[in-house]
Chain A
Amino acid sequence: MTERLVTGFHPFVIPFVAGMFFVLGYCLYGLVRILVELPNKDRQKFLLSLITPKTAWKNIKDIFLNCLIHVKLWKRNKVLGFMHSSIAFGWFMLILLGHIEVMLFLPERTRFFYYPIFFNFFVAEGESTIQGAVLFFLMDFFLLLVLCGIALAMIKRFASLWFGMRRTTNPSFLDTIGLYALWAIFPLRLLSESFTAHISGGSFLTIPMNWLFRQFLGNDLNFLPTWWAYSIVLGIFMFILPFTRYMHIPAEMLLIPLRNAGIRIVHPRKGFARVQVYSCPGCGVCIDACPMSVKKENQKDCTVYLNRQIRRGNEKRIEEISDKCLMCGKCTTVCQVQVDGPQIRQAQRAMRSYSINPHYSKVSVDEHLSNIGNGKVLYFAGCMTHLTPGIRKSVANILDKAGITWTMMDPDGGLCCGRPMLLAGRKEPAREMIRINTEIIRASGCSILLLSCPICYRVFKENYNLPGVLVMHHSVYFDKLIKAGKLNIEKNDSYRLAYHDPCELGRGCNIYDEPRAVVAAAGTLVEAKANREASICCGGSLGSLSLSYEKRRDITLNSIKNLRNDNPDAIVTACPLCQSTFSNYSEIPVLDLAQVIDKESN
């Protein structure tokens, strides 16, 4: 290869170079700002994780699999996965191969960082081109791959259902400009490389196109404007990138190492939350996933819109969206970058100051302890189970049938577990409740803390420090009892039971199989249409602060419809709140796991 221009410079590269500097500068500034915003302890933890071989390797693997290959999208929908990975991986390979070309043929030009992008403009084919044939072929191949992705992206605009998406976001004005710039980059690259292919060489795509164009164009006058256009479009895309959803490209590369380091959201706008917000690709997968979106009026309250409003600084809407959410966590599960919408909302709620702050000074630990008998198993019913006494009685019956020595922690209704207060963002009162409950549990001398409410279970698991005490949800405990042969259950095969995964138990604590095993021991397990991670919130969640009783109705009806997909005889759940919410509207019986087992055992 020889150089066509002695200086190695042409003014057309200026838009690209300017855009490149701008975007690199912006990302560097963002990185420094985020690192400064992180609490000291988190920052140290993060930096340490970068040099720990295990996490460092995990970071590289995760970035490659998620940012370039988009494995999560492949699992969701093949076409959607192909579209994204062809653009991301194809583009990455074009840049990488461009650099290899420069290093191989013109090593003295490696310091001009626009060279790999505009290589074909600056070089002329020489005798040694045969060495580059493979590279040229690969360049054309990956360009074709990206173009396929772009074509699919265009089709997606009009037929999103083919890509497994019913609803998608309305792009903002800048997003639209970014989108068109992105669409224009690769066809322009194809054109410009085709126009110069007889000088710089090419492969299966560019050479035939060059031949075709030369049949009717006859001169080289059009190639310079095309290269200009290509550079300008690249420049536009990069100048606009920080203000569009395409910011997720650099942000996700920071999000993955931060998450792998175990950093958590503290402030709703700063530090880790800022990375999460900027990592949102604005795809709108969460709109279909959100249980609230059964009603059109709630569609703009999904996580994707929360992120958009945070970026715009629209305080009124941020507050509204934060209060409305049921905190079911489904948006995070379906999100390919796993933006933790509920955590951002919870941090937002925690920002508010209240003039009445509850305290629990009148609660006497000793009085509670005097009501508690002896037993290795301490059963904490919690507020919700006290409101559904059938479940409480069933749990007691089952424990007696299995011959367990147990005692109740809150026979007369004790303290709340603290999770509802925590979900409302009021950390201080929640912490005090947790402190008092911890004192009671530790003093009781139990070895197993049994819970029949997943809301309690999650907070006991995540926020309590109970050394030597095994915290168990009743579904897991009953599964153990059944497997140990302590319960005599007569399986009734004609009894078809649909199991509903409560949000806090499934997505919250990753317990899916044990409750299913318990249901299957009593009857025939029937799966809902959307189940496990995709299960739909019952609508009764304590997570939402503003959603009214009437507005929850459609959510509950939609969830019941989903559960009755396979025509079960009854709905079984493992949460007293879900049970009570479904019972309000369901035409078939809604039971808790404990009630089913109690009925079918002897």
Chain B
Amino acid sequence: MEFGFKLSPSSAIELDSLDLSLYEKVCDVEPTAKTCISCGSCSATCTASEYSGMSIRKLLLDLQRGKNAEVERMLSHCMLCGKCTMVCPRGINTRRVILTVCRFYDNVEGAV
């Protein structure tokens, strides 16, 4: 039945059971990832955002919250063009972040 409204699924983050291994791996390979100030420059320039909502800002936030499935969806259309790297005011090597996530992303964990 359609009520004209719906209930949003819970977006609470279980800090105790969070799997941050991917985020830790990213910070390990590219420590500058920690310096992100969420300014959104990368989102504004992204070529792929039109197709998958890609944004390095969101990607890093999602990683910190263990929302790995979201990360996979965003990265699915990344073209690695490097515009995000060029505009980043913090000098984060975003392309390295992307490649690291793509490489060490675990399908099984992400599906949970």
Would you call A387 and B86 a contact (CB within 8 A)? yes
Q: Is B60 an interface residue (CB 8 A)?
A: no
Residue of B nearest to A363 (CB): B51
Would you call B80 and A420 a contact (CB within 8 A)? yes
Nearest CB in chain A: distance from B45 CB, A: 6
Residues of chain B within 8 A of A358, CB atoms compared = 48, 75-79, 102
Question: Please, what's the 1-or-0 string for A360-392, where 1 marks a CB less than 8 Å from any CB in chain B?
Answer: 101100000000000000000001101100000
The CA of A418 and the CA of B78, in the complex, are separated in Å by 11
Residues of chain A within 8 A of B103, CB atoms compared = 352-355
Residues of chain B within 8 A of A250, CB atoms compared = none
Residue of A nearest to B48 (CB): A358
Would you call B93 and A420 a contact (CB within 8 A)? no
The CA of A363 and the CA of B72, in the complex, are separated in Å by 18
Given contacts A356-B102, A383-B47, A548-B32, contact A416 B72 (CB under 8 A): no
Q: Is A359 an interface residue (CB 8 A)?
A: yes
Would you call B45 and A359 a contact (CB within 8 A)? no
The CA of A429 and the CA of B45, in the complex, are separated in Å by 20
Question: Please, what's the 1-or-0 string for A337-364, where 1 marks a CB less than 8 Å from any CB in chain B?
Answer: 0000000000000001111111110110
Within 67-112 of B, Cβ neighbours of A (below 8 Å) are at 72, 75-83, 85-88, 91-93, 95-96, 99, 101-107
Would you call B83 and A359 a contact (CB within 8 A)? no
Q: Is A545 an interface residue (CB 8 A)?
A: yes
The CA of A498 and the CA of B85, in the complex, are separated in Å by 27
Residues of chain B within 8 A of A363, CB atoms compared = 51
The CA of A357 and the CA of B48, in the complex, are separated in Å by 14
Q: Is A602 an interface residue (CB 8 A)?
A: no
Would you call A383 and B102 a contact (CB within 8 A)? no
Residue of B nearest to A412 (CB): B50
Q: Is B21 an interface residue (CB 8 A)?
A: no
Q: Is A421 an interface residue (CB 8 A)?
A: yes
The CA of A424 and the CA of B76, in the complex, are separated in Å by 16
Residues of chain B within 8 A of A546, CB atoms compared = 93, 96
Nearest CB in chain B: distance from A578 CB, A: 12
Question: Please, what's the 1-or-0 string for A566-584, where 1 marks a CB less than 8 Å from any CB in chain B?
Answer: 0000000000010010000
The CA of A415 and the CA of B46, in the complex, are separated in Å by 11
Would you call A416 and B96 a contact (CB within 8 A)? no
Nearest CB in chain B: distance from A174 CB, A: 34
Contact of A542 among B45, B76, B82 (CB under 8 A): B82
Nearest CB in chain A: distance from B32 CB, A: 6
Would you call A355 and B79 a contact (CB within 8 A)? no
Residues of chain B within 8 A of A267, CB atoms compared = none
Residue of B nearest to A584 (CB): B86
Within 79-106 of A, Cβ neighbours of B (below 8 Å) are at none
Would you call A387 and B83 a contact (CB within 8 A)? yes
The CA of A424 and the CA of B82, in the complex, are separated in Å by 11
Would you call B91 and A549 a contact (CB within 8 A)? yes
Residues of chain A within 8 A of B87, CB atoms compared = 387
Contact of A433 among B76, B79, B88, B101 (CB under 8 A): B79
**Residue from A359, A416, A580 with most neighbouring chain B CB atoms (10 Å):** A416
Total interface residues on B, using CB and 8 Å? 34
Q: Is B52 an interface residue (CB 8 A)?
A: yes
The CA of A429 and the CA of B92, in the complex, are separated in Å by 24
Q: Is A426 an interface residue (CB 8 A)?
A: yes
Residues of chain B within 8 A of A549, CB atoms compared = 32, 85, 88, 91-93
Would you call B52 and A545 a contact (CB within 8 A)? no
Residues of chain B within 8 A of A416, CB atoms compared = 47, 79-81
Would you call B79 and A429 a contact (CB within 8 A)? yes
Nearest CB in chain A: distance from B61 CB, A: 18
Would you call B80 and A424 a contact (CB within 8 A)? yes
Would you call B81 and A545 a contact (CB within 8 A)? no
Residues of chain A within 8 A of B88, CB atoms compared = 549
Residue of A nearest to B79 (CB): A416
Contact of B81 among A353, A355, A420, A547 (CB under 8 A): A420
Nearest CB in chain A: distance from B14 CB, A: 24
Question: Please, what's the 1-or-0 string for B35-46, where 1 marks a CB less than 8 Å from any CB in chain A?
Answer: 000000000010
Would you call B47 and A415 a contact (CB within 8 A)? yes
Would you call A424 and B77 a contact (CB within 8 A)? no
Given contacts A363-B51, A548-B32, contact A354 B80 (CB under 8 A): no
Within 524-562 of A, Cβ neighbours of B (below 8 Å) are at 540, 542, 545-550
Contact of A545 among B32, B99, B101 (CB under 8 A): B99
Some 30 contacts from A to B, beta carbons below 8 A apart, are A354-B99, A354-B102, A354-B105, A355-B102, A355-B107, A356-B72, A358-B48, A358-B79, A359-B77, A360-B77, A363-B51, A383-B82, A384-B81, A387-B45, A387-B86, A413-B50, A415-B47, A416-B80, A421-B80, A424-B80, A433-B79, A542-B81, A542-B95, A545-B96, A546-B96, A548-B32, A548-B93, A549-B85, A549-B91, A550-B91
**Residues of B that sit less than 8 Å from A by CB:** 32, 45, 47-48, 50-52, 72, 75-83, 85-88, 91-93, 95-96, 99, 101-107
Beyond the given A362-B77, A549-B91, please list 12 additional residue pairs across the A-B interface where CB-CB is below 8 A.
A352-B103, A354-B103, A356-B76, A356-B101, A357-B102, A358-B48, A358-B102, A383-B81, A383-B82, A424-B95, A426-B80, A549-B88
**Residues of A that sit less than 8 Å from B by CB:** 352-360, 362-363, 383-384, 386-387, 413-416, 418, 420-421, 424, 426, 429, 433, 540, 542, 545-550, 577, 580
6 nearest CB pairs, A to B: A549-B91, A416-B79, A383-B81, A416-B81, A356-B102, A354-B102
